[in-house]
Structure 1
Amino acid sequence: MIVRILCFLFAVLLTANICNAGVPSSNSNEQAARAFLKEASTKFFEYNDNLAQKQFQMYEDDSDEEAANATYKNFFAKAKLTVEIFEDSKKFDQSKFTDPELKYVFENFKKSPGVFILGEENLSKILQSLTLLEELASDKDIPSYHNKSIDLAFFPDIQEIFAKSNDPAELKYYWKTWRDKNGAWATSYFVKLIKLLKEAAKLNEITPLQLWLDEYNITEMENVMTQMEPFYLQLHGFIRNQLLKKYGDLVIKPKKPIPHHLFEQVLAQTWTSGSIIDDKYPHKDLPPYDEILKQNNYDTLKMFKMADGFYRSMGFNSISEEYWTNHIKMNSNEDEGDCKAMVFDESPNVYLRYCQKMDFRKFLQAHGYMGEVYYAREKIDLPAYYFDSYGLEYPVGEAVILSASTPKHLSSIGLVTQFRFTDEVKMNRLLRMGIHTLLNARVYFVHSKVMADLFAGIVDITDLNKRYWKLMEKYVGVAPPNNRGPDAYDFPFKFYTSLSANGNEQASKFMGEVLGYQIYEKLCEISGQYSKSKESEPINNCDFYGSEKAGEALKKMMRLGSSKPMREVLATIFPENPTVNADSLIKYYTPMKNWLIERNREDNVSVGWRHSKKKISIVTNYDDEELVPLK
């Protein structure tokens, strides 16, 4: 109950006199209520434009410490004002409104100030817990497997080892050592965070689950998992058999869950040579995308310009050169690793900072980031209280990435004109995409489900690690490589780095993946590139670049923002069935599914898994001392 509501609440009015000026003398006065909302919306956009400019600039002019202090200061200011506005909004009696739209706005407006109700001291503890949990991944505190005098961080050092190493003992060492080293710390900060979020829910008079899930529906997500299950069982069986052939039955058992350190290796090596599918479809047979970009004189700016061109080809209004100069910049930090772009899009006046790193993955990601920019620009006529978009900018970006990554598109823009996409190359690409998508989607769901179970009171904090492994076994077919003791919280580093005071990023990623394929299929149909009713080119090579009809369909949805409930917004593009489902994802990967079924049959591979006998203890060993508030 945070992101959508607080889009308006947390930064609308900056001074007490503005809040007070908007309160009517009569609660039944709808005209005064509209004036209040109009003035608040104007102030929101003015403030957010000013804040976005400061944030946009601070990463260039300020040190990391100065930038962090400024971010904390802004966060606390927003929190204070959010609570003030929330209290002010109670002075309107919406039961006396006759205008349905006004009722709709105030029903959302008055619901909750979210975590901001906790006050600055407890908010600082939330920020500190989140910061310390993120640092568990970046701290260099793990002795090297080959040289104990060298200390490594899980990200990026150990993650890079998982992407290259084929030594299961080495991978198991890093998996276990990082968790043993950080388990007690992770548990302590995590427990503090959960306690504070539960306290915020209590003060808001809502359940912790309502606070955490917001618009997401865990039952709907479970239905998607059920749809995917037959396909996933075939993929799991294939992966386990490939690992068995690679490492032998002393490392992996043919009918048991996959050890988690090998599961993480499979994910990390999806797009590298030496992966589990290389004996079927070698990585070297794929186009050398990174080298092709260099040969075509690409730099980071050109990648974003090409992504921008995709949206312009669909009829979106062009971004001016002045906008590119003053609103879109490259980060100046030389040591960025695998950094993410930053989009400041809480008003139509969007800002974007991108990374210096230039490779094919960043080329595709640029299409997603530009989708956020165009989504915000399409909402230019909406007031602030309708400006949120339920996170739908992310699946829109995923849909465009699917189109931009097709052999058809890459050939049409002249990027791979010298490379022939044979059926073998297309299946090579599809298998790697499918492994990345299906494995990650299952993990995103488990991370969402275990938190939902915790906040719903289904499981206690001390039993959470046991619940986590039960769900990992049930939905992913994965088990820990060794017994887990009473100081173990075994979430991977990406779980901790995705935690937020403002929402559930793992659920957002899950929904973004699945909805992205749904939007992709619909835009393929609208553009005439794919048809359900007749033989046509496989959907996984559909490219809706240049289709203004597809662009109009997107713009129609984008322009609604949150002016209607989420299902009604989705109905503009899925009028026949505005639900989240796995139909489009499964259809996209049907050739892969058929290949897996045939391959598993030929290799006499059994699918499914028996129960793991690894022991998971109740968590009891953690330090629950109070955190010192941030200054």
Structure 2
Amino acid sequence: MMKARILCALFVGVLTAASICNAAPLNSDEQEARAFLQKASSKMFNYYDKMSQELFDTPTEDVDKILSAVGTILKTAKEYVSIVNDSKQFDYSKFSDPELKRVFKIIRRSADEAVLGDDKFLGMFISLGMLEDLASDKDIPAYRNEQVELAFFPDIQNIFAKSNDPEELKYYWQTWREKNGAWAKGNFLNLVEVLREAAEMNEITPLEFWLNEHNMTEMEHVMMQIQPLYLQLHGFIRNQLNKKYGDLVIKSNGPIPHHLYEQVMAQAWTPGSIIDDMYPHKDLPPFDEILKQNNYDTLKMFKMADKFYQSMGFNSISEEYFASHFKMNKEEDEGDCKAVVFDESPNVYMSYCQKMDFRKFLQAHGYMAEAYYAREKVDLPAYYFDAYGLEYPVGEAVILSASTPKHLNSIGLVTQFRFTDEVKMNRHLRMGIHTLLNVPVNFVHTKVMTDLFAGKVELADLNKHYWKLMDKYVGVSPPLDRDSDAYDFPFKFYIELNENKQASKFMTEVLGYQLYEKLCEISGQYSRSMESESINNCDFYGSKKAGDALKQMMQLGSSKPLREVLSTMFPENPSLNAESLLQYYTPMKSWLIKMNSQDNVNVGWTHSDKKVAAVIINTDDEN
């Protein structure tokens, strides 16, 4: 997956680097500018289609074919070079049409970090690749068995999902960071420098460049909204861990040590979680086995996801299109492999892994949102084709619908299983733990970088600042004192760091629930005034009205500012807020308050007593 991004980035980088030195005379003729844009859009789509096809056809682990793909891609570079060059012939500041000005700004900014030229731009993606290798390198000696070396993913993650030994978990938490700290810090510092320099060359501040369309004020507001529920969940989790491990491992009134917090997240959907004594995992439907019994394979999962969108009135994807544009990537089957979607034009390609389980079944519904979103933008020019990442919360909303007992029963997967109130609460609590533990962590990962680029914190103090934010917003502390050589960000912090992926995940999670509730209302499945109905079992499958509402938003792409696009779904309040998420987890909150009251749990936490030193930054680290 990383190799595909590097190839794509290399192509754009070489093209853009060649365009920087254009010295053509400026032109302020708006009619000529519109004619240029029409031709430019056609060229851009042609470029994207060629690139997507090339990357789709290239095995990600075949080095020779990767190098060949780079050569083939570079041969088509002249089309994009002309777009970037020719756009600089126009002085859009003199245009009277504000929309025309906006388009030229979009085109000028489309290069992002590529304005730095080949060496630095490719160096950035090498750093990203190095950071992704932190997950796959088998360089961690096994606990009490140094002859065996493990990778963070899937080896150590599987241990966190199964182990109930806090010392083993602390060992892996500490050893992974000690083994990879210098490597992570060096590549991280390189990325920070590249992003700052790219912002300067794009004539905007590093903070604007980093945040893009994300709004920290809205994100802060969401954190305030979820705080009462999160405090109850945090208190419950800490109390359960304290019962399990005792005061010497976790204090009854303090923050949760990070290795135990990660354990709870990893065990949300596995046997042995903190709720297993009350709601055993074995009482849930055996979804993986049910899929096998119903003769599912990976392609059938995507076909079922495709039917969901068809049921809402979207034009179906033909068998021929599936055969030529969707393929199984047999080389990426280790662990939780992700699909790779090329959706920069309506001509979508998707490469997916061969792993087949219930989680992949649901993820397929999310991936298909990317495909259908791209197809709905078929009438847009290339410079409006970006959709602010809204395809991901749309996919999240569909996943929420597709995972309901109502939907699973309607497609014949759980007809022999009875969803009692206990089973429903079992599912509900596990969903809540997964969601409400990830949302504040994604916020902290976003805020620590935002504060860095806003000049509120220096690089040397970043690790201390990270733990300060984790203490304040998440109630989590390091499991032991951290010295000046530590850089303690977890692996997920580094994933697609240049694209501010953590902010996108935050938005996806929160907005996904907003879209889910709105689509449930539009389909007539639920409204807050329907006291007898629960949003937790709403399924908008088959609702043409819900499909029409989605199409109206999808078809806009980025032709309007983000808030105007969202206003098609939320005319009263097109901003990010947690009301729908909180409404969804109302039963969980009531249950948590009851359990915490029974055990006399004091919600909230005292500050961490762990010491965190500043990181020593020298010139060699920064270069």
- TM-score relative to the length of structure 1: 0.93
Q: Distance in 2 between matches of 1:254 and 1:16?
A: 61
Which residue pairs with 2:388 in the alignment? 390
Q: CA deviation at 1:257?
A: 0.2
- Deviation, 1:28, is 3.4
What amino acid maps onto 1:408 in structure 2?
K
Partners of 1:417 and 1:450 lie apart in 2 by 47
Answer whether contact 2:54 2:73 (CA < 8 A) is retained: no
- Out of 440, 445, 448, the residue aligned to residue 446 of structure 2 is 448
Of 561, 572, 576 in structure 1, the residue corresponding to residue 572 of structure 2 is: 576
Give the distance between the partners of 2:329 and 2:211, measured in 1 at CA.
Answer: 33
Residue 215 of structure 1, CA deviation = 0.3
**Which residue does 2:248 correspond to in 1?**
250
Query: How much is the aligned-residue C-alpha RMSD, in angstroms?
Result: 2.6
1:409 is matched with 407
Q: Secondary structure at the match of 2:145?
A: coil
* Further displaced range: 487-496 or 372-381: 487-496
* Structure 1, unpaired ranges of 5+: none
Match of 2:188 in 1: 190
Equivalent pair of 1:83/1:113 in contact (CA under 8 Å): no
Contact 2:225 2:578 in 1 (8 A): yes
Alignment of 1:88-487 (within 5 A): 88-111=86-109, 113-333=111-331, 335-487=333-485
Per the alignment, residue 46 of structure 1 pairs with 46
Report the more deviating stretch, 124-133 or 91-100.
91-100
Deviations 1:350-400 (A, max 9, x none): 011111000000000000000100000000011101111000000000000
Q: How far is 1:183 from its partner?
A: 1.2
> Shift of the alpha carbon at 1:346?
0.4
Match of 2:30 in 1: 30
Rounded to whole Å, the distance in 1 between the matches of 2:454 and 2:350 is: 37
**What is the CA distance between 1:195 and its match in structure 2?**
1.3
Residue type of the alignment partner of 1:591: P
How many residues in Structure 1 have an aligned counterpart in Structure 2? 615
1:593 equivalent in alignment to 2:589: yes
Contact 1:208–1:456, Cα closer than 8 Å, also in 2: yes
Change (3 A) 1:221 1:431: same
- Quick one: distance in 1 between partners of 2:421 and 2:463? 44
Q: Displacement, 1:99?
A: 3.4
For the Cα contact (< 8 Å) 1:486–1:621, is it kept in 2? Answer: no
The Cα shift of 1:204 comes to 2.0
Do the aligned residues in 2 keep the contact of 1:344 with 1:350 (CA within 8 Å)? yes
- Equivalent residue for 1:566? 562
State the partner residue of 1:525.
Answer: 521
Q: Is the 8 A contact 2:344 2:385 kept in 1?
A: yes
Query: Against the structure 1 CA distance between its residues 574 and 66, is the aligned structure 2 distance closer, same or farther, given a 3 Å change threshold?
Result: farther
Cα distance change of structure 1 residues 75 and 258 upon mapping to structure 2, 3 Å threshold = farther
Distance, in Å, in 1 between the alignment partners of 2:113 and 2:130 is 19
What amino acid is aligned across from residue 31 of structure 1 in structure 2? Q
State the Cα deviation string for residues 17-39 of structure 1 (Å, max 9, x = none): 9x99xx8x882322211110011
1:18-67 deviations in whole A, cap 9, x for unaligned?
A: x99xx8x88232221111001110011111111111111102xx644246
The Cα of 1:327 is off from its aligned counterpart by 0.6
Does the C-alpha gap of structure 1 residues 507 and 69 become closer, same or farther in structure 2, counting only changes over 3 Å? farther
Superimposed CA distance per residue, residues 264-313 of structure 1 (whole angstroms, 9 cap, x where no aligned partner): 00000000000000011110110000000011111111100000000000
Shift of residue 13, structure 1, vs aligned partner: 8.5
Query: Which residue, out of 548, 551, 555, partners 1:555?
Result: 551
Instruction: Assess, with a 3 A threshold, how the Cα gap between structure 1 residues 382 and 232 changes in structure 2: closer, same or farther.
Output: same
1:616 corresponds in structure 2 to 612
User: Residue type of the partner of 1:374?
Assistant: Y
Cα contact 2:15–2:77 (8 A) shared by 1 = no
Which has the larger displacement, 83-92 or 559-568?
83-92
Distance (whole Å) between structure 1 residues aligned to residue 283 and residue 310 of structure 2: 33
Deviations 1:403-431 (A, max 9, x none): 00001100111100000001110110000
Structure 2 CA distance, aligned partners of 1:267 and 1:117? 39
Contact 1:560–1:569 (8 Å) recurs in 2: yes
Which range moves more in the overlay, 361-370 or 320-329? 320-329
Unaligned 5+ segments in structure 2 are: none
CA distance in 2, matches of 1:82, 1:579: 35
- The 8 Å contact of residues 83 and 116 in structure 1, kept in 2 or not, is answered as no
Higher relative contact order at CA 8 Å, sep ≥6: structure 1 or structure 2? Answer: 1
Deviations 1:161-193 (A, max 9, x none): 000000001001111111111112211111121
Verify the 8 A CA contact 1:487 1:622 in the aligned structure 2: no
1-structure distance, mates of 2:92, 2:476: 51
Deviation at 1:336, TM superposition (A): 3.0
